Amino acid sequence: CAINKDLYSFSVCKRCIRKMDHHCPWVNNCVGENNQKYFVLFTMYIALISLHALIMVGFHFLYCFEEDWTKCSSFSPPTTVILLILLCFEALLFLIFTSVMFGTQVHSICTDETGIEQLKKEERRWAKKTKWMNMKAVFGHPFSIAWLSPFATPDQGKADPYQYVV
């Protein structure tokens, strides 16, 4: 890492990471150039599934409210209400947290500035590109439905096309 100024050394991950953004305890890994797409998709999908859970809880609550409470759950009505409120709170908490993380990551990609650079007010070590070029650099070129895929594909410009970057 001392030789190549584009790499960032991090003691927890015990390796050099290019364009390191942060260390994420959720995935127990450092987020950098090679896995930022997957972290962004992870936060986006968790936010979407949290929104889905919130909507489903709302519909279930309305169903229970309109029907007889004993028909909508095998639990007693007070227990059902408490469980629905707890689930609603958990879904809302995850929705807010992962939406903020998702927005922060997309902003970092668009501004071509890592989280570490933002915190340390460091100047970037690479040439500034347009937002569209930054998105293509993270998610792949050209734009396609593969941008939403959490599965690794051969990295065309950097490695042997028969090896997958993980």
Q: Is 1 an active-site residue? A: no
Q: Which CA distances in Å does 122 have to 15, 34, 115, 119? A: 21, 21, 10, 8
DSSP designation for 152: -
Find the catalytic residue in 13, 16, 24, 72: 24
Regarding beta strands 15-18 and 29-31, do their DSSP bridges make them parallel or antiparallel, or are they unpaired? unpaired
Regarding beta strands 15-18 and 22-24, do their DSSP bridges make them parallel or antiparallel, or are they unpaired? unpaired
Residue 33's closest CA among 157, 140, 166, 138?
A: 138
Catalytic residues: 24
